[in-house]
Every structure is written in structure tokens, then in C-alpha cells.
Amino acid sequence: MARLAKLKISMMISIFLVALIFALFLAAIIYFLNLPLIFAVIGALIFILIEYLIGPEIVKASMRLRYVKPGEQPWLESTVKELAQKSGVPVPKIAIVPDETPNAFVFGRTSRDATLAVHEGLLLKLNKYEVRGVLGHELGHIKHKDYLVMTMLSAVPLLAYLVARLSFEAVRFAPKSEKKGKGAAAIYAALIAVAVIGYIVYIVSLLCVMRTSRLREHYADAYSAYLTQNPRGLASALAKISYGLSLSPKPPHGARTLYISDPALAKQECQTIIRKKDEYDLDRDGVLDEKELELAMEREAKSTWTRINTWFSTHPPTFQRILLLREIEKEMESGRFTAKNIYAHI
């Protein structure tokens, strides 16, 4: 599992970069607003702690999820238990989300209180092999402790955005009479500077967080392939999930970074393939068969536009994820895929 060290190193680098950016941001606030250092540091730590403590409760309330009672979903419960024991993580609590779109996610403060939430649409629209692949993916997030890292990292761009927005609004809605005088002008100039720096920090730190988020999805995909020994199950699930999400009229949920697939990205991907259907329909029969779809996925995965657009996504393009799983499947068929090289293709 040498490549697992790459994930840990990448996460450490991301944490370091975000922490450095955040430290510079605090220094700028202290400088422009002439605040005591201790106030800024304590305020930031309290904000991160609050997000860590109440984050899971916000997810529960916003998703309207319902926890599964023992014996209510026998196949789902036994499968989660089997895969959790095989992966060496505590068996997570299982919840059902009353949503017809196919999706799933995990959240929690620690691996011992983690919740694995499954949308009703996932159980209805996917077969058992595909659902099993999705469950393996979500358990991969628990195995890699992604929920903890992403909670901590996501707090920084959110805090930077809030500070920038509040500073901007303070200047915008302040009475004109209060902006007169050298002292008042200096204060408002400082607030504008903080707002500008805040927006810059928000964008830069968010790009760092998104890169880490995309990488963790690839690692969870590879782990699912190893855990279930059936990468085709997850590949098929990802295709169905993306297609199902692309048809949903609902706007993307605010917590979509938790999902196995981002609804906004799914809509964009399917629209791209449909728009280029004539280009990829090589036999001109009006339907994209498996080989034509595979060719389309390979081309889209290598396109410059896809790579640039990926910088601003929390999830890798679905066709890149499917291609990774197909590489793993070929290695499994050759007998070379072992526990030591789970992440070799990432």
C-alpha cells in the first residue's frame, strides 16, 4: 500500500498550505484592523470547533435522513457489516435518505460514530453488486478518515468567505455620514482591504480543498475495488448514478461534496456527451453502444477543457473514475492486483 502514503502526504501538504494561507489571512486582518493576535486566533479556533461539533447535526437535519432499525434492511445491514469487518473499521450506523436520486455518503466526527447514509433511489435503481460497490467506496472514506480531514479543511474557505462578506457588507450599508473624517475613512479602507484579501483567500484555499477532495474519491474508488473484488460493480454504479443525477430537476444540495457523485457535475458530463453524440456515434445508428461510449469517455477524460474544469470540481469526472476501475479490473484478471498495489493506478 505504498501509494496510500501518497494520499497521506497529499493531505498533509493540503493541510499545511491551507494552514499557511489561513495564517497569512489572520495576519492581514490583524494588520488592517489593528486587532490583538489572540482575539483573531481564538475566534478562528472557536469557528472550526463549532463546525466540527455541529456539522453532523446540520447534515442530519438538512437531509431529513432516518436511521435504520435493526432487522429493517437485512441485506443492507449484513453487507455493511461484512465489508466493515473486512476493512477493519467500526460498523457505521446506517441511515436512509428519502430522495429518489441515486447517491450515498458518510459523515461523522470519528470512525466510531460515523453514519453511512444511502438514498432510497440508490437501492431502487441499482442492483446488489452495484450497491455493494458504492458501500465499499463509502467505507473507503471511513478507512482513510476523509471526513475528518475535509471537515477541518473546509472550515478555512468558509471562514474566509464569511469574513470577506461581512466586511464588504459593513462598508456597503454603512451610512454615508459615518464614512466622513480621516479616522472613519481609514477604518472603511481597512475593511475593504480585508474583504478583498478574504475573497482571494477563499478562492485559493477552496482550490486546495477541491484538489484533496478529488484525490480522496479516486482512493475510495480503488479501495472499493479491492474490498469488493468487483470493480465493474462500482463502475456500473457510477454510470447509473451520474445518469440518474443528470435527470433530476432538483437543484444540487449544499452538502453535495459529501456525495459519491456530484449532481452538478453529473448534469454537465451527460450534457457534454449528448452534445457530441454525432461525433461518438461511429456506426451512425443513433445509439452509443458500449465501445462508442468507452471511446467517448477516454476522449473526454483527456480533453484540455475537462482538465481545466476539473480544478473547480469536488469530484473527478465520472469517465476518469470508470477508466481507473477498468484498469484495476484488467489487473485483477491478470492476477497481479494485490493488497500491496491497491492504489497503484492513481
CA distance 54 to 101: 26
Q: Is 178 a catalytic residue?
A: no
- What is the SS3 assignment for the chain? CHHHHHHHHHHHHHHHHHHHHHHHHHHHHHHHHCCCHHHHHHHHHHHHHHHHHHHHHHHHHHHCCEECCCCCCHHHHHHHHHHHHHHCCCCCEEEEECCCCCCEEEECCCHHHCEEEEEHHHHHHCCHHHHHHHHHHHHHHHHCCHHHHHHHHHHHHHHHHHHHHHHHHHHHCCCHHHHCCHHHHHHHHHHHHHHHHHHHHHHHHHHHHHHHHHHHHHHHHHHHHHHHCCHHHHHHHHHHHHHHHHHCCCCCCCCHHHCCCCHHHHHHHHHHHHHCHHHHCCCCCCCCCHHHHHHHHHHHHHCHHHHHHHCCCCCCCHHHHHHHHHHHHHHHHHCCCCHHHCCCCC
From the candidates 138, 217, 269, 300, give the one annotated as an active-site residue: 138
CA distance 272 to 54: 38
Which residues are known catalytic residues?
138
